[in-house]
C-alpha cells in the first residue's frame, strides 16, 4: 500500500469516526462495493478534491449534514404535495459549487444507487471514445473515470470548481451552456445526472442527437421522484413515453438499467434509469 493510499484511508477513517450516519451507511454497503477498485478510485478522488480546496474533515461533515437535513425536509414535502421544491416555490436555497461537489462525491461512496451509476459508466465506457463531449461536469468524477479512453474531449459546465482546472489542465472547460456548438462531430456524449436539472430535457436530447456522428453514443441517466432542491424535471417511473420520444428522434437503445434507491422511507420510491443510446 503506497503513501497516498494510506493518506486516503486515514482521511476516510477520520470522516467515519466523526459522522455516525456515514459510518452506518458504510457498514451497510455490500463488501463487493467497499473492496472494489472503483471504490478506491472514488476515495482517492475525494481526497484530491478536499486537499486542493483546503477542506477539513469537519467542513466535509458539515456540508453533508446540512444537505441531508434539507433533502429529508424536501422528501417529506414531496410525499405530501407530489411537487418538487422548485414547484412549491422553495428555490431560495443557496449552496456553493464546493459544497455541492462534496455531497455528490460522498453520495457515490455511501449511496449504493449512485455507486451503481458510476460502476455502469466505468464498466461500459468504450475503449476508444474518439471525440467526446461532457455536458455538465459536477465534481469531475465521471471525466476522471473515462478520460484514459478519450482522444479528444470538450466539456461544458457553468460553475466548475477551481480543482477541475488543475486536475484536468490539458482539457478546456467551457463555462457556458452547450447549445449545439458542434454538429455531426462527437463519437460519445455524456449526460450523467443532468436531464433532471433542465426544464425540457428533450430539447437537450435533440441537440445531442444533432451533435453526434452516425453511430455515436450517448451515456445518460434519468431521475424519478428525487425531490432535490435543483431538480426541475421528474421522469415517470414508466419510461415508455421517454423511450418512444428518443426512438422518434433517431436513437436506438443499446443498454438500459433501472436503479432503485433502497435507503429512504417506504413512502417514497426514487429511482434512476441508466441508458446507452446510439444514433441510427
Q: Domain boundaries in the chain? A: 3-107, 124-279
Q: What is the pLDDT of residues 124-151, one digit of tens each?
A: 998 887 899 999 999 999 999 999 888 8
pTM equals 0.94
pLDDT at 9: 83
* Helix (DSSP H) and strand (DSSP E) numbers for the chain: 11, 7
Phi, psi for residue 65 in degrees, rounded to 5: -60, -40
- CATH number for the segment(s) 124-279: 3.40.50.150
Place of cell 429512504: 264
Q: How far is CA 47 from CA 65, 119, 169, in A?
A: 18, 19, 18
Burial 84-104 (b: 16+ CB within 10 A, else e): bbbbeebeeeeeebbbbbbbb
The tens-digit pLDDT sequence of the chain (280 residues) is: 555 677 778 999 999 999 999 999 999 999 999 999 999 999 999 999 999 999 999 999 999 999 999 999 999 999 999 999 999 887 667 889 999 999 999 999 999 999 999 999 999 998 887 899 999 999 999 999 999 888 899 999 999 999 999 999 999 999 999 999 999 999 999 999 999 999 999 999 999 999 999 999 999 999 999 999 999 999 999 999 999 999 999 999 999 999 999 865 557 889 999 999 999 9
CA distance from start to end of the chain: 47
Amino acid at each position: 500500500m503506497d503513501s497516498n493510499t494510506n493518506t486516503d484511508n486515514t482521511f476516510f477513517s477520520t470522516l467515519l469516526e466523526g459522522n455516525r450516519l456515514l459510518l452506518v451507511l458504510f457498514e451497510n454497503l455490500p463488501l463487493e462495493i467497499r473492496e472494489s477498485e472503483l471504490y478506491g478510485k472514488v476515495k482517492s478522488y475525494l481526497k484530491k478534491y478536499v486537499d486542493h480546496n483546503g477542506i477539513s474533515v469537519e467542513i466535509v461533515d458539515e456540508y453533508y449534514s446540512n444537505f441531508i437535513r434539507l433533502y429529508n425536509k424536501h422528501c417529506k414535502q414531496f410525499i405530501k404535495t407530489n411537487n418538487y421544491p422548485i414547484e412549491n416555490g422553495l428555490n431560495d436555497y443557496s449552496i456553493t459549487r464546493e459544497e455541492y461537489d462534496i455531497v455528490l462525491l460522498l453520495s457515490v461512496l455511501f449511496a449504493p444507487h449512485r455507486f451503481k451509476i458510476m460502476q455502469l459508466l466505468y464498466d461500459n465506457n468504450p475503449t476508444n471514445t474518439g471525440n467526446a463531449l461532457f455536458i455538465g461536469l459536477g465534481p469531475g468524477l465521471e471525466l476522471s473515470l473515462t478520460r484514459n479512453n478519450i482522444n479528444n474531449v470538450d466539456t461544458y459546465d457553468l460553475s466548475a470548481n477551481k480543482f477541475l482546472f488543475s486536475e484536468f489542465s490539458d482539457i478546456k472547460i467551457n463555462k457556458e451552456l452547450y447549445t449545439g456548438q458542434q454538429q455531426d462531430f462527437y463519437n460519445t456524449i455524456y449526460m450523467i445526472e443532468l436531464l433532471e436539472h433542465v426544464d425540457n430535457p428533450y430539447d437537450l436530447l435533440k441537440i445531442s442527437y444533432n451533435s453526434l456522428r452516425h453511430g455515436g453514443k450517448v451515456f445518460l441517466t434519468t431521475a424519478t421522484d428525487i425531490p432535490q432542491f435543483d431538480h426541475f424535471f421528474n421522469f415517470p417511473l414508466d419510461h415508455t413515453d421517454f423511450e418512444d420520444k428518443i426512438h422518434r428522434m433517431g436513437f436506438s437503445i443499446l443498454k438500459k438499467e433501472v436503479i432503485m434507491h433502497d435507503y429512504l422511507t417506504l413512502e417514497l420510491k426514487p429511482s434512476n434509469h441508466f441508458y446507452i443510446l446510439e444514433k441510427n
